């Protein structure tokens, strides 16, 4: 007897506007599986020319990684019937930038670390299996684990140019 395999799409769109300085206002839409939209903003701190009026982009990224993994841990603990009680995550995301003279800097990731603390009666093996399942189900973590191609286009007049 074979198990049913279901596929589903998760699709997001984001329209972002930066009228000047470093603040970016965004309209983020989830198209599938459940349509939803919200407004988000980012800004930089003073060292980067911002006003600190909103979280920085990397703050949202860091929070997105932690929240995505946390969501999967909670959802899969129920699905797998693993008693973990309260879950706490501590993340440390480290990048390094290099700048030559006044040229724009270049960045690269150094390390991303996530410490997970769970309560409840689950055995160590059950907790490890839950974390492994959550890692595979976390959209952000899976994106980070694979090489990705990100297409960029520039609007020139009425046309789009690949960059």
Kindly list the structural domains of the chain, giving each domain's residue range(s) and its CATH number in brackets, ordered by start: 1-55 (no CATH), 56-147 (3.30.300.20)
pLDDT of residue 107 exceeding 90: yes
Q: What percent of the chain has pLDDT over 90?
A: 93
pLDDT of residue 73 exceeding 80: yes
Classify each residue of 52-69 as buried b or exposed e, where b means 16 or more C-beta atoms within 10 Å of its C-beta. eebbbeeebebeebbebb
What pLDDT sits at residue 2?
79
Residue pair 28/14 in contact by the 8 Å Cβ criterion: yes
Residue pair 22/48 in contact by the 8 Å Cβ criterion: yes
Mean pLDDT of 132-150: 96
Q: What pLDDT digit, counting tens, does each position of 19-70 carry? A: 888 999 999 999 999 999 999 999 999 888 899 999 999 999 999 999 999 9
Which pTM was predicted?
Answer: 0.88
Mean pLDDT of 89-100: 95
In a 13 Å sphere around the CA of 110, the CA atoms on its Cβ side amount to 9
Mean pLDDT of 85-112: 95
C-alpha distances (whole Å) from 39 to each of 21, 95, 126, 135 are 19, 27, 38, 28
């Amino acid at each position: 007897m074979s198990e049913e395999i279901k596929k589903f799409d998760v699709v997001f769109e984001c329209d972002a506007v930066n009228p000047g300085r470093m603040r970016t206002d965004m309209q983020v839409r989830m198209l599938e599986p459940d349509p939803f939209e919200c407004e988000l903003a980012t800004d930089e701190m003073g060292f980067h020319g911002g006003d600190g009026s909103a979280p920085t982009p990397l703050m949202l990224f860091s929070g997105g990684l932690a929240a995505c993994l946390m969501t999967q841990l909670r959802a899969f603990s129920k699905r797998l019937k693993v008693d973990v009680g309260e879950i706490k995550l501590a993340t440390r995301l480290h990048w390094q930038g290099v700048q030559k003279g006044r040229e724009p800097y270049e960045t690269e990731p150094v390390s991303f670390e996530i410490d997970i603390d769970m309560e409840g009666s689950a055995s160590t093996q059950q907790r490890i299996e839950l974390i492994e399942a959550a890692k595979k189900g976390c959209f952000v973590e899976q994106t980070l684990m694979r090489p990705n191609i990100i297409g960029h286009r520039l609007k020139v007049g009425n046309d789009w140019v690949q960059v």
